[in-house]
Amino acid sequence: MIIVLLQNASFLCTFVWLLQHGRRPEGKAESSGIKDNDQPIHMKEKTNKAFETLDKQHYLQTFRRFPITLAKGKGSRVWDIEGKEYIDVLAGIAVNSVGHCHPNVVKAIQEQAAKLMHISNFYVSEPQAQLAERLTELSGLNRVFFSNSGAESVEGAIKLARKYGKTQGKAGTVISMEGCFHGRTLATIATGKKAMQNGFDPIPSGFKQAKFNDFESVAHVATGDVAAIIVEPVQGEGGINVADKAFLQQLRKLCDEKDIVLIFDEIQTGIGRTGYWFAKDHYGVQPDIMTLAKGLGGGVPIGAFLSSEKIAQAIEFGDHGTTFGGNPLMCAAALAVLQTVEEENLLHAAKEKGEWLKQQFADMHEPSIVKIKGLGLMVGVEFTFETKPLVIEMMHHGVLANATAGNVLRLVPPLNISYDELQTALEAMKKSLEAVKEHA
């Protein structure tokens, strides 16, 4: 009995030490940061193939994963389980906005984890109150609700918009744009592509689509039953399609005239990705509701939707809720992300590096490049061919990127990636492009 108590006491001491310091007290990691005692006991073979097999045996097979198991990240670089290094210009799909394991974020998580992690929303927490205040200051909107993901944020935005619409006697129809992506829950796939709805009938009703960057198309379906219009200032999954300034301004005017709620989905564009805190600031257009996620947490799962006071007044106690959303641990991490973006002047960095990167692609004068597009460090390069083989070849050359919309190479690196790292990634892309063309 005494031995068991001593062992438990030893374990608790070690656990508290890890929360405070974030690593084991003994020894130093290898250059890749991977140690034998970091792996599950049952994993005898610590290889990419072994973990790929384990994943296929137990995880729901809904992702077409690349055959590498990532084990460590620092800044704009990651290492797989076998120690191979990669430059990450995908950043967890625009999530790791301040890079992997930024010291500010790590410190904030460690300190908060040792103090208070979760309390539910029956109570107020200091990090949540501070984060809500900061986001309203930055956005010019009045109210915030925290969620766990982008899809949850959009769901909440739709609920709030419909509740407001009901107060105005509207049926609750929501207009989305062709080529959009707002998530994979039932309501969010109802806004998007038909292909994503296959097999999930009955799909929720009350959704219409219009053409992106085509105001007349939107105006045509904006009948009296429409409660909201939802639009991404830059369509991410749709191929890095940038909204025209006139289009968003016309939407704002239409919504004002017909008392329609204008929702901007800034899940991918928000928190500095495009060179402003929010992409809306490129356009001088203020939405009624704005959704956030991805870069807000810098790697931890947190989402939010913000609204004007006018729209928020429609919500009553009990109309919406969440267990985990906005807990102290996630909010502490998000506050550290905002602090880092500000301290390291990453808005300016995103603008400059994004323009530099697009110019580098333009200077290639590559015949297979159709279009170079994007805002800030949200860059899309459209090719004449499907880009997944290019992305796979880039991975073999030590660069992680993404193919979207079939023929678009998507680059959304950490905002603090260095020019040297961008140049290295660009050179790897050029070599990969030649290899793909050679085998075409």
Catalytic residues: 181, 265, 294
- Give me the helix-helix angle, 419-438 and 346-362, nearest 10°: 30
27/31 Cα distance (integer angstroms): 13
Give, as one character, the DSSP assignment of residue 131.
Answer: H
CB hemisphere CA count around 339 (13 angstroms)? 15
CB hemisphere CA count around 113 (13 angstroms)? 16
Both structure tokens of 182: 């707002």
Give, as one character, the DSSP assignment of residue 47.
Answer: S
304/148 Cα distance (integer angstroms): 8
CB atoms within 10 A of CB 133: 11
- Give me the helix-helix angle, 346-362 and 328-343, nearest 10°: 70
| Contact (CB, 8 A) for 414 and 75 | yes
| Contact (CB, 8 A) for 243 and 231 | yes
* Strands 289-292 vs 261-265: parallel, antiparallel or unpaired: parallel
Q: What pairs with residue 371 in β-bridges?
A: 382
* Strands 143-147 vs 85-88: parallel, antiparallel or unpaired: unpaired
| Contact (CB, 8 A) for 92 and 104 | no
- Give me the helix-helix angle, 328-343 and 126-139, nearest 10°: 40
Helix (H, G, I), strand (E, B) or coil at 5: helix
How many residues are recorded in the chain?
A: 440
* Strands 378-383 vs 369-375: parallel, antiparallel or unpaired: antiparallel
Helix (H, G, I), strand (E, B) or coil at 101: coil
28/42 Cα distance (integer angstroms): 23
Residue showing tokens 């956005």: 139
* Strands 234-235 vs 241-242: parallel, antiparallel or unpaired: antiparallel
